[in-house]
Structure 1
């Protein structure tokens, strides 16, 4: 039994030492150079710069639709790709944004439509998913919503008369 164990140990040692010599010989210097260049390029990322990060619609009457445009520029070192733009609620809808890569130095825009419903001071955040260093950017819309003066008169004719039993 000792002879088998010694023989097995010797075979393992021979195979391990032969692998070290073969692995070093298999490294291609051109692959190392190509990997270094690829890694240097991967550090270059796009940067999205907005003309404004927040838009205030001011005082509006409840139910009055609003719309604004957010413009942005790629100020980074690589093409900018926006994969998604979403609002925090269904009352605010981002539209008309390009899914095509935006070259360095180029600008684009997207529209945000807000249904204008709510009460008092209202803020909505629009989240942009892109290939920037953080992966997410955001802009915000705000408004002070006052009650619709016509809404009270519309609901005033709800008198059904006396209840007959």
Structure 2
């Protein structure tokens, strides 16, 4: 009987030491869009990560600081050693991009299971010259 209790205790304690860990591939957990145009860029970027722990990683929530940025989280647990992704779609409004996406998960290597991802860059309006617009230079110049 004592042996059964000892084996049960060892098994249960080994489960409590199993920990999921999350490591993002993006430097400083930031994706830089650079200078982009709404006409030539769909605004979608992907944060890739790996579960470097020894237990399943569960992403419970992913939310943005505003409605102009829509993140999509994985629906299934990420097993140890496996990679996952969080897609982010920015609506490409002209101007600077400075947004934060908060990820909530069961990873033990981050404070309170929350980590901030950031996107930055600038969206410009592509200037098009109308074919009907005449050149303002004269042939005498």
Q: TM-score, normalised by structure 1?
A: 0.62
Q: How much has 1:91 moved relative to structure 2?
A: 0.6
Give the distance between the partners of 2:49 and 2:16, measured in 1 at CA: 23
* Structure 2 counterpart of 1:154: none
Matches of 1:32 and 1:138 in 2, distance apart? Answer: 42
Corresponding residue for residue 91 of structure 1: 68
Give the direction of change, closer, same or farther, for the CA distance of 1:145–1:98 in structure 2 (3 Å limit): closer
Superposition deviation, residue 80 in structure 1: 0.9
Structure-2 separation of matches of 1:105 and 1:79: 9
Per-residue CA deviation, residues 6-26 of structure 1 (Å, 9 max, x unaligned), is xxxxxxxxxxxxxxxxxxxxx
1:136-151 alignment runs, 5 A limit: 136-146=114-124
- Residue 137 of structure 1 and its aligned partner are, at CA, apart by 2.0
Measure, in 2, the Cα distance between the counterparts of 1:81 and 1:115.
Answer: 27
Structure 1: 5+ residue runs without aligned partners?
A: 1-27, 151-165
Shift of 1:33: 4.5
TM-score by length of 2: 0.71
| Alignment: residue pair count | 121
Q: Structure 2 regions of 5+ residues with no counterpart?
A: 129-141
Give the corresponding residue for 1:60.
Answer: 36
Aligned residue among 88, 100, 107 for 1:112: 88
Contact 1:62 1:119 in 2 (8 A): no
CA distance in 2, matches of 1:33, 1:86: 42
- Residue 48 (1) aligns with residue 18 (2): no
- 1:15-30 aligned at under 5 Å gives the runs 29=2, 30=4
Higher fraction of strand: 2
Q: Determine which of 69, 81, 92 is the counterpart of 2:58.
A: 81
Structure with the larger RCO, 1 or 2 (CA within 8 Å, 6+ apart): 2
